[in-house]
Chains A and B, each alone.
Chain A
Amino acid sequence: GENVEQHPSTLSVQEGDSAVIKCTYSDSASNYFPWYKQELGKRPQLIIDIRSNVGEKKDQRIAVTLNKTAKHFSLHITETQPEDSAVYFCAATRSGGGADGLTFGKGTHLIIQP
C-alpha cells in the first residue's frame, strides 16, 4: 500500500517568513494529494490540493508543488501569520477523489513566532 513520509515534524518560523513542509509518497499510481490543517482539538480541514496532471497550484499565500518523478510534494506558506499556527498533514491516494480513502503523513506542527 501507499506510504507517506512528512518532514519536518516541527517547524518554527518568524511571523512574516515563509514555511515549507515536504512529503514523499511510495505509490507511483497515486494521483491526488491534499493538504489538511488541524487546529488543536479541531477537525482536519482541507487547505489546498493538487492532482497528478498539475505541477503547481496557488491559493493566495499557500502553494503546493508536485514532482511526480521524484514522488514528492511540498506545501509553501508565504508571509506567515499567527493564525497559521497548527498541525499540517499531507495525504495521498491513487483513487483520484479518494474513493478508497487517504494515506496521511504524520503531520508537521507549525509554530509562528511573533
Chain B
Amino acid sequence: NAGVTQTPKFRILKIGQSMTLQCTQDMNHNYMYWYRQDPGMGLKLIYYSVGAGITDKGEVPNGYNVSRSTTEDFPLRLELAAPSQTSVYFCAHSNRGTEAFFGQGTRLTVV
C-alpha cells in the first residue's frame, strides 16, 4: 500500500455538504501532499505539509482546508462541496530527496 492509507475509496456528496478525506502514512516521512486529478488531466497540488504543524497552499487550494497535527496524518477537508470538486483525490508522502508515494485515491462525486 506504499505506506499510505486513504479513506474513503468512493464518496458521493450533495452540493453544499462537507466531508473529510483521511490520509495516514506509516513511514515517518515529513512531507505530505494532497493532489486532485481531473479526467484526462495531470495531478494538481492542493495543499502540502513539510512537517507536523506546518501546511502550505498548492496550486488549487480554494474550497479545501488541511491540518497536520501529527507526522502520520494529513486530512483534507472539503467545505460546501461544489460540482467543480468532483475529482479523484490522491494523498502522497515523501522523504527529503526521494520519490513520492501515492495513496490509492478517493473518487469523489458532487451532485
Q: Which residues of A line the B interface, CB within 8 A?
A: 1, 4, 6, 34, 42-46, 49, 89, 91, 96-107
B94 CB contact (under 8 Å) in A43, A45, A97: A97
- Total A-B pairs, Cβ < 8 A: 61
Q: Is the CB of B103 within 8 A of A46?
A: no
Q: How many chain B residues touch A (Cβ–Cβ < 8 Å)?
A: 27
Report the Cα distance A49→B99, complex, angstroms: 8
Report the Cα distance A49→B100, complex, angstroms: 11
Which residues from chain B contact A104 at a C-beta distance below 8 Å?
A: 42-44
- Chain B 30-60 per-residue mask, 1 if CB under 8 angstroms from chain A, else 0: 0101010000111111001010000010110
B100 CB contact (under 8 Å) in A98, A103, A105: A98
Which residues from chain A contact B103 at a C-beta distance below 8 Å?
A: 43
Could you give 19 example pairs across A and B, Cβ below 8 Å?
A: A6-B42, A34-B99, A34-B100, A43-B105, A44-B90, A44-B102, A49-B99, A96-B97, A97-B94, A97-B95, A97-B96, A97-B97, A98-B94, A101-B45, A101-B48, A102-B43, A102-B45, A105-B42, A106-B42
Assess whether B104 is interfacial by the CB under 8 Å rule: yes
10 smallest beta-carbon distances between A and B, as pairs: A104-B42, A97-B97, A101-B45, A43-B102, A46-B99, A97-B96, A101-B48, A104-B43, A106-B42, A44-B102
